[in-house]
Amino acid sequence: MNFEDWMLHRGLSKSSVDKYAGAIRGPISTWAIEHKLVAGPLISFNSEAAFREVALQIRTLEIFQQRDGKGRNMYSSALNKFTEYLAEGHGNDAATDIDAILEDEGLSTTERVDLVMSRIGQGAFRQKLLTYWQACAVTGYRDTGLLVASHIKPWRDCTSSERLNPYNGLLLTPNLDKAFDSGLVTFTKKGPIALSPLLTEPEKLGITPAMRVELTAQHEPFMSFHRDAVFRSH
């Protein structure tokens, strides 16, 4: 779901959506680029934490403060809305997660390496999923070089052992991985896919209501968490 659709779903008027989206995509991005705070448009951010840091710097710019004052805080509101939007992305902030691993004094060097590799979709976790699934768990697509090792229970909510547990993972095509990680799809206990009402035009992503996955009892605790805590049912 893009920023504009998210705001409409949250009940903002079309005029407000146009103003906030236009500000983020246009002037605020331009100011940030001109002052070398970012290398590209703000809409490219997918990490709330990283965006918050940049937004703090943007708010100190003289041109931002001048235009925000004249615009009755419209530009500040746009930054706030985009921050909220990113906060609902259910966490793709790998850099923050990796920093936390490296700073955890309770982990051995080997454990740190295993967890970092797992977080970036490589290492033992991916190997275990390739052994178990051998292809995309949903579509059967077999070019493993294009498949993503996706955690069912999100990384930020897992213990270290859960992060490496192969039953906490699905091997997915990139489109399904992104939708699943964002809570836009999930899977029922018996396997059929469930689509969030927030997933717009799923057919253009090749995602259909007929999709399913074959799960075991060992997968269910993780998938149950995903249905309850990650899936966007409304």
Check residue 67 and give its pLDDT: 96
- CA of residue 86 relative to chain centroid, distance: 8
Question: Among 193, 198, 230, which Cα is nearest to 1's?
Answer: 198
Q: Are 92 and 181 in contact (CB under 8 A)?
A: yes
Query: Please, what are the averages of pLDDT over each run of 10 residues along the chain (234 residues)?
Result: 83 94 95 92 81 94 96 96 81 61 78 71 75 94 88 88 91 94 94 94 95 96 96 88
- The residue assigned the tokens 């990139």 is 174
pLDDT of residue 158: 87
Q: What integer pLDDT is reported at residue 90 of this predicted model?
A: 40
Residue 93 is predicted with a pLDDT of 58
DSSP secondary structure letters along 94-105: HHHHHHHHHH-T
Give residue 99's pLDDT. 67
SS3 state of residue 193: strand
pLDDT at 184: 94
Say if residues 167 and 219 touch (Cβ distance below 8 Å): yes
Structure tokens at 228: 């309850």
